[in-house]
Chains A and B, each alone.
Chain A
């Protein structure tokens, strides 16, 4: 939660920075010929605008269009303002002050075998961060060079692209979030907001969670919405927050202010190989997901991909009653004890196109489970064990060293195993974010989210609880706070056409 003081700091800044609204539209940003509706005005808020950053991959879709259903689709959208957190001169960034919030230092709200659920722990906040410095604008920052001055060979993975994009597409590059939402004026001046917080200079807490400022971005937008007396459709990339109470508060705020809130990863909406889903309403006994990463953000993507399939089971989502994060030999031991199905593990791995080990040597196919080679390949396995309230259980196995893609297999009563690979197209196109852009655009143009934000809420909480378990020496933790119930849409929402 933002303090009034913190908020006023931003407000004062924005009114001091009124400049004529740049309206240099490029051909790219023009609405399609024949379109009569005024373009939807969009504010984009993110951490870093580097080549192949999540922000760049998603924001560009609304500037240059994206592949959709066999056409190069140009959304009828005008990006009017962009806020890039890493560009703001900072003490580690004004929004990195989020790490000082009480919520972060409070005792984890997941609980072990004893102790009551403390409930929301976000009530008390530190005094707000200092006002952002006003003296140096981004462009005037000593040593800063506009991207137009960069020679192409100087464009590296950490080169900021937002200034070049601002020049090319004529959007306002803003120094704070209220300014972005007001497009330099006094009133809310956008029809929708996209936020993409990702790994940057943000600190991590003692549980290994990067303190991404999703909640802070959201709260600053909400301040503007509240002053205006209305909100606009809002997309939050990936987890809502590293803190479940914050995430929950975001969902409740959106409900209260009645603006559509869409969130989550691109994995649930990307293509699948094969094109299959859990039959809607089917009884799911167990699921095993395999992937790579762990504690780096991709575990969220993987958990949400798993969740988007499991939520379709009979009765809909009932929430999660307990989690446990296992590591090292305990992962293999759990397999031997039947805590996850080796058959499902083998099935999920059979969907992989990226087995490592001997496949790298001579290109051979490998039955990684049957051959017993898995423990040799994976030195530091992790298992995210999820126990749902209705008894279904699911396990995400992070198998760095064995595979490099994400695959799932689920046992469905009467159907056998349903398995697939979540297709992650190669760099640089990363067209999975085009699949996501289509869902974002749909939310903005219809005012309705194609899938419930509760999916992302629950997944945010599952991830946090798993990291808590890890922090507590891999203890099983009961999670009564994750009793998140929702009904998914009956129609599959991943890319199929």
Chain B
């Protein structure tokens, strides 16, 4: 049922369905890039498609929607999702949808997860696909559902059943790498790790996608995850000191960081001892999990120690850990543009133009499930949880899709 217009040489029309548009929110970064263009491949690039319909779920203080419409007369805001994707008609009237379920203010679940509306947006859009007997490529920023495994799975299954490309995930998987290296395809890997920052049920997803976009390229492809255990507070430091995750990989990852907080005020770049890390990181989180083929992965959120995402893995046959930084130009004083949204949007454009997902949504299904399992483990007293539902198997895209040109 999936179709695209590009074969006929016409500019695809897009509709965006988003939570709220405020400065430095995901919807602002993504919608702006479709409308205003962005630097790409050494030129100022204007996407060869027109974003014409917009639905904004919450328009409150700081809302930039009106400003967007004023600047872009071709864009129209609709009061409902259905109207945005039908452009006020009775049938699907666009060639692709851009969905951003991040940001905005939504209620919390019993485990404290924000009930972001990815699934509600999805259902409304798919209703139109069904009633129009036509479906189009679907970009979904970040997680599938941020808080419900069954919703995530349903989104994944629906896209397969109806045959429309679904692509999303984190910008971490597609941004610059420093150094600009790819995980060797078909490599055997026993341990992989990401050191990141940010909160549970938020940046943990980015850290998990950082790991997953790499290890999915290992020998045999992805096999799914069989268990997960979270660590926080004292249990984190005890596990750290016992070597539950390899210190060599922590060191390799931190040696790729460019935001390593000096443990001493009179130094500017110095490697910390575990004791110093304890002082710097009052509230650490780890998710330790095992894939069904035996690969063990560790995600560390170390607020206070770093403000970037770094990856390290032990690859068979390599004497030193493989490592890199997934670099985020971050408008928190470091930059003014969140340029890591550019490769995310660029890959979405390619999907809209080709009608093919550029990387597997199964990756994002698995990482969405890992976040939910991680939060569950924390909620259940840092218990190890078996995760039979995460038996997600897939093969990576053969081409690298991270930003390198």
Contacts and interface: CB of A to CB of B under 8 A. Distances in A.
A350 B43 contact: yes
Given A60-B270, A64-B270, A152 B265 contact: yes
A472 interface: no
Interface in A35-76: 51-52, 56-57, 60-61, 64-72
Given A350-B42, A362-B64, A495-B179, A72 B271 contact: yes
A431 interface: yes
Interface string B240-265: 00000000000110111111101001
Contacts of B255: 67-68, 70-72
Nearest to A368: B44
B248 to A, nearest CB: 9
A430 B259 CA distance: 9
A362 B252 CA distance: 37
A409 interface: yes
A363 B32 contact: yes
Interface residues of A, number: 62
B24 A155 contact: no
A144 interface: no
Nearest to A347: B42
Given A353-B335, A363-B28, A419-B42, A71 B266 contact: no
A98 B254 CA distance: 43
A370 to B, nearest CB: 6
A491 to B, nearest CB: 15
Interface string A409-430: 1000000011100010111111
Interface string B310-347: 00100000001111100101010111111100000000
A275 B179 contact: yes
Interface string B18-51: 0000011000110011001111101111000000
Contact of B268 (A60, A354, A365): A60
A398 interface: no
Contact of B267 (A60, A152, A405): A60
Interface in B171-193: 176, 178-180
Given A362-B67, A419-B42, A70 B252 contact: yes
B164 interface: no
A83 B405 CA distance: 44
A366 interface: yes
Given A60-B269, A426-B259, A428-B262, A363 B254 contact: no
A460 to B, nearest CB: 27
Closest 4 CB pairs between A and B?
A350-B39, A419-B42, A425-B258, A70-B323
Given A67-B254, A70-B252, 11 more contacts: A64-B267, A67-B256, A71-B320, A274-B403, A350-B43, A353-B335, A363-B32, A365-B337, A418-B42, A423-B178, A495-B179
Interface of A: 51-52, 56-57, 60-61, 64-72, 147, 152, 155, 161, 164, 271, 273-275, 346-347, 349-356, 359-360, 362-367, 369-370, 404-405, 409, 417-419, 423, 425-431, 434, 495-497
18 contacts: A61-B269, A64-B271, A70-B252, A70-B322, A155-B266, A164-B266, A275-B180, A350-B39, A352-B337, A363-B337, A365-B33, A365-B36, A366-B36, A370-B44, A404-B336, A428-B268, A496-B179, A497-B179
